[in-house]
């Protein structure tokens, strides 16, 4: 095979299919004119899509080593990355007969999925979904239980909170950041006021993340000292996903929220939430006390928003209501449940478990939405009663649903797998 420029090409490994934003395949392996290259591969039906999708401006595509296209493409077409480097393009139609567009027409449509679960009586469906929801809840709690064997309660909460801020494109980067900027390390940052403490922590987090703007000079030297003191390896800007995210979901915005949370509660997360929970008796109490957790009006963020090019109403919370509710169910509730169990406070642990079962349904993911659509073809009135039911549907959709093994959820032995309630 040859590229558009006539260079000899061998594709040894296509790489790992990327289902998130960024290049289509990660860590591919090619030979160009006898030289071995390892990197990402991007595929487009039309060569111009590289520029239409603005990949030439996105650092996430700076590891692309090959651009695969179909259809008409001039021999002098140039694929250029944001770092200015030109990469080779290969027209797949040069080795296909007929061309890709014609082959696509001949490809048979996907067979319609017949969901065995949807054919069961509705009470049995609800019971199955509930039990898988409980299993998903058990898994969340188990993660906290296992982590606290090697980390402090405060570090376990910090990691889980950061991971939740990264849903659903930046979880890995946020987890890595929470390890580099651990609770123990961040607690060494001293300040004379809450505002100064926030500014210092925000600078450290953004600098370690590789996202601190050059014009942000204040505290930069102290951030460099922090990184050198603890021998921290910095993350790269390309580790973070911005593509197809609304500004309020940008990792820069979420990092400011993380800095605020730590500035307020980072001295002892577990102690704060133990006190915070004392007045909670019902799910209504819990939901009403969530929003005040992130209403940090005492902190001024206008200069940060300007330097980070974020258009934001400063009267709005940096953590939106949907994200905060997700943190409530996926972080605060299982964290407190395991914390109270560890303290042998079984009464409050039981109350937490009860609240988990009553938690309102969160926003549906693509996985749960698709499975619900299939179930509702047979059971048009099927509705989720709580987030635990939603988590059950999500668990089944992600781990069990396969067209060629449609009975997996019905055959799955929940008792043997360790689910309890």
pLDDT score recorded for residue 111: 62
What are the CA-CA distances from residue 27 to residues 24, 31, 42, 86, 251 (Å)? 10, 13, 11, 18, 24
Whole-model pTM over 0.85: no
What are the CA-CA distances from residue 361 to residues 53, 136, 171, 298 (Å)? 34, 15, 22, 31
Cα-Cα end-to-end distance for the chain = 59
pLDDT tens per residue across span 183-205: 999 999 999 999 999 999 999 99
pLDDT score recorded for residue 404: 61
Residue with tokens 């558009």: 4
Structural contact between residues 341 and 153, judged by C-beta atoms closer than 8 angstroms: no
Is residue 133 within a helix (H) or strand (E), and if so which, with residue range? Answer: helix 122-147
pLDDT score recorded for residue 421: 44
Which stretches in the chain have pLDDT values below 50? 416, 419-421
pLDDT score recorded for residue 313: 66
Phi (first) and psi of residue 40, to 5 degrees: -95, 160
pLDDT score recorded for residue 79: 92
pLDDT score recorded for residue 76: 84
- Distance (Å, rounded) from C-alpha 133 to C-alpha 138? 9
Residues 6+ apart with CB under 8 A from 257: 165, 294, 318, 319
């Amino acid at each position: 095979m040859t590229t558009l420029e006539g260079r000899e090409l061998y594709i040894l490994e296509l790489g790992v299919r990327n289902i998130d934003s960024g290049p289509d395949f990660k860590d591919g392996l090619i030979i160009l004119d006898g030289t071995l290259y390892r990197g990402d591969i991007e595929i487009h039906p039309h060569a111009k899509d590289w520029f239409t999708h603005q990949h030439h401006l996105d650092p996430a595509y700076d590891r692309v080593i090959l651009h695969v296209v179909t259809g008409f493409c001039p021999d002098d077409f140039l694929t250029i990355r944001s770092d200015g480097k030109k990469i080779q393009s290969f027209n797949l139609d040069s080795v296909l007969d007929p061309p890709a567009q014609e082959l696509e027409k001949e490809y048979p449509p996907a067979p319609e999925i017949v969901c065995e679960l949807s054919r069961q009586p509705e009470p049995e469906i609800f019971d199955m979904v509930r039990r898988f929801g409980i299993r998903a809840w058990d898994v969340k709690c188990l993660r906290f239980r296992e982590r606290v064997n090697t980390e402090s309660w405060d570090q376990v909460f910090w990691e889980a909170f950061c991971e939740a801020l990264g849903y659903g494109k930046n979880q890995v980067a946020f987890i890595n950041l929470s390890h580099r900027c651990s609770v123990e390390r961040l607690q060494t940052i001293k300040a004379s006021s809450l505002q100064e403490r926030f500014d210092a922590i925000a600078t450290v987090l953004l600098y370690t993340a590789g996202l601190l703007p050059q014009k942000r000079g204040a505290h930069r030297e102290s951030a460099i000292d922090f990184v050198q003191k603890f021998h921290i390896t910095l993350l790269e800007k390309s580790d973070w996903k911005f593509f197809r995210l609304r500004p309020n979901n940008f990792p820069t915005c979420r990092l400011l929220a993380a800095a605020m949370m730590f500035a307020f509660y980072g001295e002892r997360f577990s102690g704060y939430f133990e006190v915070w929970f004392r007045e909670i008796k019902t799910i209504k109490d819990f939901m009403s006390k969530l929003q005040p957790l992130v209403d940090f009006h005492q902190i001024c963020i206008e200069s940060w928003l300007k330097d980070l090019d974020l258009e934001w109403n400063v009267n709005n919370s940096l953590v939106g209501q949907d994200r905060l509710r997700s943190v409530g169910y996926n972080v605060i509730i299982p964290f407190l449940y395991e914390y109270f169990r560890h303290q042998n406070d079984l009464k409050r642990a039981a109350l937490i478990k009860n609240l988990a079962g009553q938690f309102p349904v969160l926003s549906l993911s693509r996985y749960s939405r698709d499975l619900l659509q299939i179930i509702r073809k047979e059971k048009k009135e099927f509705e989720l009663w709580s987030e635990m039911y939603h988590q059950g549907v999500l668990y089944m959709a992600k781990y069990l649903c396969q067209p060629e093994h449609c009975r997996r959820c019905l055959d799955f032995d929940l008792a043997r797998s360790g689910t309890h309630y």
